[in-house]
């Protein structure tokens, strides 16, 4: 641990030279995979649209049925498979890098089985979503974007509810924390009591992450009755007890500050704007280029490649918006986490700063990321910012007031 303390307030996130070199390489690899991967996907989709693959797939589907919804059930999976195949090189590359740096320790068999499962899920959910979208486009040529948005609201709420119960267990094993580590649950309940939170131990789970990765993590997921806090077993193995309380305090912040709920409201607002822009652009492109690409109208299944291209490009442009919101939530959780462990650990500032330093070292986070990269693609504040904030934040000092957790 390289955390330097002249005084607690001067703590700086630093890495030893070997880890620093790897962290910088990893940051470059992530940038290449993310930005290069998006550009690659957009470029190939653009070429496929221009080569009129949409018309070819639609005509092939039309040979089986004249009904538009049957044509969709045949066309959508083909386009979604193409999209999955386009994502594969970047995913393989990143897995290779994580293995080379010792962060990933899973077998290629396990990695491939996870990739196959998530691809099948994408195929099923994507086909259903596109079937609904095209049905709405056929039904209401001018307002389909609004109806699709209204439909997306309950669908997202149901999705957030079922993910921890039905989807996450397909990929990892979860068990009640109470069963594996009752002493830790006792410690965490002290943090809960400190924040006047009545959280039942059956909402605390441990995930067997260690068969896949070496680095620690914890998160809050679910909605209503499925809402829960999950701690990776790597956290319990790698992190000292007082820092686990700091990490848990941060997660409790997400929990009591209703971050999942706020995130859903935020995404509804973003989606409304997103769908309207996609509608306007699709209309314009079909009007302008449809004749050349053999796309007769937006609701013609031949337009699906173009819609995927628009979603890829607009989704990329929307990233800074979603990530700015996420960084705001993460910072709020950092503030809450540091306040809630006050009185439970000896020196909350040092404990929080050390826990960020440890997370940064184990995940090989770069100490000096490009600000544009942080703005565009960081969903958490950089480790350097988190260490600096934690070391300097002391709302219990005379004249100061804690923001979330009363004295
Ligand atoms: Zn968080």
- Give 68-121 pLDDT, tens digit per residue: 999 999 999 999 999 999 999 999 999 999 999 999 999 999 999 999 999 999
- CA separation for the pair 248, 297 (Å, rounded): 52
Could you list the residues known to form a binding site for Zn(2+), using ranges.
250, 254, 330
Give 38 Cα–ligand 1 centroid separation in angstroms: 26
Positive/negative CA dihedral, 40, 42, 44, 46: negative
What tokens appear for 99 in the block? 């293995």
- Find out whether 67 and 61 touch, Cβ atoms under 8 Å: no
Helix (H) or strand (E) holding 232: strand 228-232
- Find out whether 340 and 199 touch, Cβ atoms under 8 Å: no
- Give 181-205 pLDDT, tens digit per residue: 999 999 999 999 999 998 999 999 9
Active centre residues (catalytic):
251, 334
Positive/negative CA dihedral, 62, 68, 73, 75: positive
pLDDT less than 70: residues of the chain = 1-10, 407
pLDDT of residue 6: 43
pLDDT of residue 406: 85
Angle, in degrees to the nearest 10, between helices 68-100 and 53-62:
130
Contacts 24+ apart (CB under 8 A), 88-94: 88/115, 89/37, 89/40, 90/33, 90/34, 90/36, 90/37, 90/40, 91/33, 91/115, 93/29, 93/32, 93/33, 94/29, 94/30, 94/33
Give 304 Cα–ligand 1 centroid separation in angstroms: 36
Give 220 Cα–ligand 1 centroid separation in angstroms: 8
pTM listed for this prediction: 0.93
Which residues, including other chains, have CB under 8 Å from residue 96's CB and lie 6 or more apart? Answer: none
pLDDT of residue 343: 93
pLDDT of residue 9: 54
pLDDT of residue 4: 47
The DSSP-derived string for 200-218 is: -GGGEEEE-GGGTBSS--E
Q: How far is CA 95 from CA 125, 172, 213, in A?
A: 25, 17, 11
Starting from the edge strand earliest in sequence, which strands make up the sheet with 228-232, in order?
Answer: 174-176, 204-207, 228-232, 218-221
pLDDT of residue 11: 81
Could you list the residues known to form a binding site, using ranges.
250, 254, 330
Give 166 Cα–ligand 1 centroid separation in angstroms: 22
- CA separation for the pair 178, 209 (Å, rounded): 17
Q: Which of 288, 279, 270 is nearest to 137 (CA)?
A: 279
Give 330 Cα–ligand 1 centroid separation in angstroms: 5
């Amino acid at each position: 641990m390289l955390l330097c303390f002249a005084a607690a307030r001067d703590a700086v996130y630093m890495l030893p030279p070997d880890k620093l070199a790897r962290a910088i390489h990893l940051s470059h690899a992530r940038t290449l995979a993310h930005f290069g991967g998006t550009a690659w996907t957009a470029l190939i989709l653009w070429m496929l649209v221009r080569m009129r693959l949409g018309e070819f797939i639609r005509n092939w589907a039309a040979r089986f049925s004249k009904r538009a919804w049957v044509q969709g059930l045949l066309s959508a999976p083909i386009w979604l498979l193409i999209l999955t195949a386009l994502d594969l090189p970047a995913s393989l590359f990143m897995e290779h890098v994580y293995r080379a740096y010792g962060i990933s320790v899973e077998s290629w068999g396990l990695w491939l089985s996870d990739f196959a499962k998530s691809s099948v899920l994408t195929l099923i959910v994507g086909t259903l979503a596109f079937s609904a979208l095209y049905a709405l486009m056929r039904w209401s040529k001018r307002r389909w974007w609004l109806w699709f948005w209204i439909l997306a609201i309950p669908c997202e709420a149901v999705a957030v509810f079922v993910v921890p119960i039905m989807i996450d267990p397909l990929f990892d094993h979860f068990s009640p924390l109470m069963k594996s580590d009752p002493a830790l649950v006792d410690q965490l309940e002290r943090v809960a009591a400190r924040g006047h939170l009545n959280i039942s131990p059956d909402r605390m789970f441990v995930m067997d992450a260690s068969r896949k990765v070496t680095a620690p993590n914890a998160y809050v997921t679910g909605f209503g009755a499925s809402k829960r806090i999950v701690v990776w077993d790597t956290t319990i193995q790698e992190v000292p007890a007082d820092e686990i309380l700091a990490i848990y305090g941060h997660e409790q912040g997400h929990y009591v500050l209703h971050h999942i709920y706020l995130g859903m409201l935020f995404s509804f607002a973003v989606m409304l704007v997103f769908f309207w822009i996609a509608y306007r652009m699709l209309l314009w492109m079909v009007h302008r280029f449809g004749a050349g690409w053999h796309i007769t109208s937006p609701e013609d299944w031949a337009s699906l490649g173009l819609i995927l291209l628009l979603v890829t490009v607009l989704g990329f442009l929307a990233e800074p918006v979603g990530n700015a919101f996420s960084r705001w939530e993460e910072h709020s959780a950092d503030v809450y986490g540091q306040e809630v462990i006050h009185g439970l650990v000896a020196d909350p500032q040092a404990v929080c700063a050390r826990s960020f330093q440890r997370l940064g070292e184990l995940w090989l986070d770069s100490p000096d990321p490009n600000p544009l990269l942080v703005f565009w693609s960081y969903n958490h504040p950089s480790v350097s910012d988190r260490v600096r904030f934690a070391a300097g934040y002391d709302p219990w000092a005379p004249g100061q007031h804690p923001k979330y957790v009363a004295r």
